Protein backbone atom coordinates (compact mmCIF):
# COMPACT_ATOMS: atom_id res chain seq x y z
CA UNK A 1 0.00 0.00 0.00
CA UNK A 2 1.40 3.42 -0.89
CA UNK A 3 2.37 5.69 2.00
CA UNK A 4 -0.33 8.31 1.34
CA UNK A 5 -3.15 5.75 1.35
CA UNK A 6 -1.66 4.09 4.44
CA UNK A 7 -1.84 7.38 6.36
CA UNK A 8 -5.48 7.83 5.31
CA UNK A 9 -6.42 4.29 6.33
CA UNK A 10 -4.63 4.60 9.70
CA UNK A 11 -6.66 7.77 10.36
CA UNK A 12 -9.91 6.05 9.30
CA UNK A 13 -9.19 3.23 11.74
CA UNK A 14 -8.30 5.66 14.54
CA UNK A 15 -11.55 7.53 13.86
CA UNK A 16 -13.50 4.38 14.79
CA UNK A 17 -12.99 5.54 18.38
CA UNK A 18 -15.62 8.26 17.82
CA UNK A 19 -18.14 5.42 18.21
CA UNK A 20 -16.93 5.01 21.80
CA UNK A 21 -17.40 8.64 22.84
CA UNK A 22 -20.77 8.90 24.55
CA UNK A 23 -22.61 12.23 24.72
CA UNK A 24 -25.01 13.47 27.39
CA UNK A 25 -28.01 13.03 25.07
CA UNK A 26 -29.97 9.83 25.14
CA UNK A 27 -31.43 8.07 22.11
CA UNK A 28 -35.15 8.45 21.51
CA UNK A 29 -35.81 4.88 22.73
CA UNK A 30 -33.87 5.82 25.91
CA UNK A 31 -31.81 2.60 25.60
CA UNK A 32 -28.47 4.37 26.01
CA UNK A 33 -26.56 7.60 25.42
CA UNK A 34 -25.81 8.69 21.88
CA UNK A 35 -22.30 8.38 20.46
CA UNK A 36 -20.40 11.18 18.74
CA UNK A 37 -20.39 9.22 15.48
CA UNK A 38 -24.18 8.85 15.56
CA UNK A 39 -24.61 12.54 16.40
CA UNK A 40 -22.33 13.51 13.48
CA UNK A 41 -24.30 11.29 11.08
CA UNK A 42 -27.56 12.87 12.24
CA UNK A 43 -26.17 16.37 11.64
CA UNK A 44 -25.10 15.42 8.09
CA UNK A 45 -28.61 14.16 7.35
CA UNK A 46 -30.09 17.38 8.76
CA UNK A 47 -27.68 19.53 6.75
CA UNK A 48 -28.78 17.83 3.51
CA UNK A 49 -32.47 18.16 4.35
CA UNK A 50 -32.61 21.62 5.91
CA UNK A 51 -30.18 23.70 3.82
CA UNK A 52 -33.10 25.27 1.92
CA UNK A 53 -34.00 27.17 5.11
CA UNK A 54 -30.70 29.03 5.26
CA UNK A 55 -30.96 32.74 4.39
CA UNK A 56 -27.68 32.76 2.36
CA UNK A 57 -28.59 31.38 -1.03
CA UNK A 58 -25.15 30.20 -2.13
CA UNK A 59 -24.24 28.12 0.89
CA UNK A 60 -21.66 25.40 0.11
CA UNK A 61 -23.50 22.34 1.39
CA UNK A 62 -20.57 19.96 0.83
CA UNK A 63 -18.49 22.18 3.11
CA UNK A 64 -21.22 22.08 5.77
CA UNK A 65 -21.41 18.28 5.55
CA UNK A 66 -17.62 17.95 5.77
CA UNK A 67 -17.63 20.17 8.88
CA UNK A 68 -20.30 18.20 10.71
CA UNK A 69 -18.70 14.87 9.78
CA UNK A 70 -15.34 15.88 11.31
CA UNK A 71 -16.36 18.45 13.97
CA UNK A 72 -16.24 16.06 16.95
CA UNK A 73 -13.23 13.93 15.97
CA UNK A 74 -11.05 15.92 18.41
CA UNK A 75 -13.15 14.39 21.21
CA UNK A 76 -11.36 11.07 20.64
CA UNK A 77 -8.50 12.60 22.62
CA UNK A 78 -10.21 15.52 24.39
CA UNK A 79 -13.38 13.68 25.46
CA UNK A 80 -16.94 15.01 25.20
CA UNK A 81 -17.22 18.35 26.96
CA UNK A 82 -20.79 18.85 28.14
CA UNK A 83 -21.88 22.25 26.81
CA UNK A 84 -23.32 23.31 30.17
CA UNK A 85 -20.27 22.23 32.22
CA UNK A 86 -18.72 25.64 33.02
CA UNK A 87 -15.56 24.12 34.55
CA UNK A 88 -14.78 21.70 31.72
CA UNK A 89 -15.26 24.47 29.15
CA UNK A 90 -12.36 26.46 30.65
CA UNK A 91 -9.61 24.30 29.16
CA UNK A 92 -11.68 22.83 26.31
CA UNK A 93 -10.01 24.85 23.54
CA UNK A 94 -6.52 23.88 24.67
CA UNK A 95 -7.41 20.17 24.96
CA UNK A 96 -9.11 20.15 21.58
CA UNK A 97 -6.34 22.00 19.77
CA UNK A 98 -3.83 19.45 21.00
CA UNK A 99 -6.18 16.68 19.87
CA UNK A 100 -6.64 18.24 16.41
CA UNK A 101 -2.89 18.44 15.99
CA UNK A 102 -2.35 14.77 16.83
CA UNK A 103 -5.41 13.30 15.10
CA UNK A 104 -5.52 15.36 11.89
CA UNK A 105 -1.71 15.16 11.92
CA UNK A 106 -2.05 11.47 11.05
CA UNK A 107 -3.25 12.49 7.57
CA UNK A 108 -1.14 13.50 4.54
CA UNK A 109 -0.13 17.19 4.99
CA UNK A 110 -2.67 18.70 2.57
CA UNK A 111 -5.58 16.82 4.10
CA UNK A 112 -4.36 17.63 7.61
CA UNK A 113 -4.49 21.31 6.68
CA UNK A 114 -7.94 20.97 5.10
CA UNK A 115 -9.36 19.23 8.19
CA UNK A 116 -7.78 21.70 10.64
CA UNK A 117 -9.19 24.56 8.57
CA UNK A 118 -12.67 23.00 8.48
CA UNK A 119 -12.59 22.34 12.21
CA UNK A 120 -11.38 25.88 13.05
CA UNK A 121 -14.00 27.37 10.72
CA UNK A 122 -16.68 25.36 12.51
CA UNK A 123 -15.43 26.47 15.92
CA UNK A 124 -15.23 30.16 14.94
CA UNK A 125 -18.84 30.37 13.63
CA UNK A 126 -18.21 33.23 11.20
CA UNK A 127 -18.93 31.88 7.70
CA UNK A 128 -22.54 31.02 6.74
CA UNK A 129 -21.48 27.36 6.44
CA UNK A 130 -20.08 27.30 9.99
CA UNK A 131 -23.10 29.20 11.37
CA UNK A 132 -25.48 26.69 9.77
CA UNK A 133 -23.40 23.70 10.99
CA UNK A 134 -23.30 25.25 14.47
CA UNK A 135 -27.08 25.84 14.50
CA UNK A 136 -27.63 22.17 13.58
CA UNK A 137 -25.22 21.09 16.32
CA UNK A 138 -27.56 22.85 18.81
CA UNK A 139 -30.87 21.94 17.17
CA UNK A 140 -30.20 18.18 17.01
CA UNK A 141 -29.78 17.66 20.80
CA UNK A 142 -32.75 20.02 21.35
CA UNK A 143 -34.89 17.67 19.24
CA UNK A 144 -33.67 14.68 21.25
CA UNK A 145 -34.31 16.36 24.62
CA UNK A 146 -37.81 17.47 23.58
CA UNK A 147 -38.65 13.90 22.57
CA UNK A 148 -37.30 12.24 25.73
CA UNK A 149 -39.24 14.40 28.21
CA UNK A 150 -36.10 16.46 28.87
CA UNK A 151 -34.51 13.59 30.80
CA UNK A 152 -30.95 14.76 30.21
CA UNK A 153 -31.84 18.39 31.07
CA UNK A 154 -33.41 17.22 34.33
CA UNK A 155 -30.38 15.06 35.20
CA UNK A 156 -28.13 18.10 34.90
CA UNK A 157 -30.51 20.72 36.35
CA UNK A 158 -30.57 22.75 33.12
CA UNK A 159 -32.97 25.72 32.93
CA UNK A 160 -34.62 27.33 29.90
CA UNK A 161 -32.40 30.39 30.21
CA UNK A 162 -29.32 28.31 29.35
CA UNK A 163 -31.03 26.52 26.46
CA UNK A 164 -32.32 29.79 25.01
CA UNK A 165 -28.84 31.35 25.22
CA UNK A 166 -27.25 28.33 23.54
CA UNK A 167 -29.67 28.43 20.59
CA UNK A 168 -29.93 32.18 20.16
CA UNK A 169 -27.76 32.31 17.01
CA UNK A 170 -30.10 30.08 15.00
CA UNK A 171 -32.51 32.82 13.87
CA UNK A 172 -29.62 34.76 12.33
CA UNK A 173 -28.81 31.93 9.91
CA UNK A 174 -32.42 30.83 9.30
CA UNK A 175 -35.73 32.47 10.18
CA UNK A 176 -37.63 29.17 9.89
CA UNK A 177 -35.20 27.27 12.10
CA UNK A 178 -35.24 30.15 14.59
CA UNK A 179 -39.03 29.89 14.84
CA UNK A 180 -38.72 26.11 15.24
CA UNK A 181 -36.23 26.50 18.10
CA UNK A 182 -38.54 28.97 19.91
CA UNK A 183 -41.48 26.60 19.50
CA UNK A 184 -39.50 23.63 20.78
CA UNK A 185 -38.26 25.48 23.86
CA UNK A 186 -41.66 27.01 24.68
CA UNK A 187 -43.31 23.64 24.30
CA UNK A 188 -40.68 21.98 26.53
CA UNK A 189 -41.32 24.60 29.23
CA UNK A 190 -45.09 24.14 28.91
CA UNK A 191 -44.80 20.37 29.22
CA UNK A 192 -42.53 20.62 32.23
CA UNK A 193 -39.45 19.13 30.51
CA UNK A 194 -37.47 22.30 31.06
CA UNK A 195 -37.79 24.53 34.17
CA UNK A 196 -38.34 28.23 33.42
Positions touching its own copies (CB under 8 A) are 1-2, 5, 8-9, 11-13, 15-20, 27-29, 31, 34-35, 37-38, 40-42, 44-46, 48-50, 53, 61-62, 65-66, 69-70, 107, 111, 143-144, 147, 176-177, 179-180, 183
The nearer residue to its own copies, 20 or 159, going by C-beta atoms, is 20
Q: Cα–Cα distance between 41 and 37 in angstroms, integer?
A: 6
The nearer residue to its own copies, 161 or 175, going by C-beta atoms, is 175
* Shortest distance, position 1 Cβ to its own copies, whole Å: 6
The nearer residue to its own copies, 88 or 143, going by C-beta atoms, is 143
* Shortest distance, position 92 Cβ to its own copies, whole Å: 22
* Shortest distance, position 90 Cβ to its own copies, whole Å: 29
* Shortest distance, position 91 Cβ to its own copies, whole Å: 26
What are the Cα distances from residue 89, in Å, to 29, 53, 80, 96? 29, 31, 10, 11
Which helix H or strand E contains 195, and what residues bound it? none
Quickly list H helices, 105-148. Answer: 109-124, 128-146
The nearer residue to its own copies, 144 or 194, going by C-beta atoms, is 144
Q: Largest Cα–Cα distance in the chain?
A: 59
The nearer residue to its own copies, 62 or 126, going by C-beta atoms, is 62
From the DSSP assignment, how many helices (H) and strands (E) are in the chain? Answer: 12, 2
Contact at 8 Å (CB) between 133 and 67? yes
The phi-psi region of residue 159 (left if phi > 0; otherwise alpha if psi is between -120 and 50; otherwise beta) is: beta
Strand partners, 141: none
* Shortest distance, position 6 Cβ to its own copies, whole Å: 9
Amino acid sequence: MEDRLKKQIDFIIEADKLKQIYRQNILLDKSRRETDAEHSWHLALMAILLCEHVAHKNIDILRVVKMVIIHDIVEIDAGDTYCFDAKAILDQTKREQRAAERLFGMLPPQQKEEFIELWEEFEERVTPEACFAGALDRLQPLLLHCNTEGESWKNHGITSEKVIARNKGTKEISENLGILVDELINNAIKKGYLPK
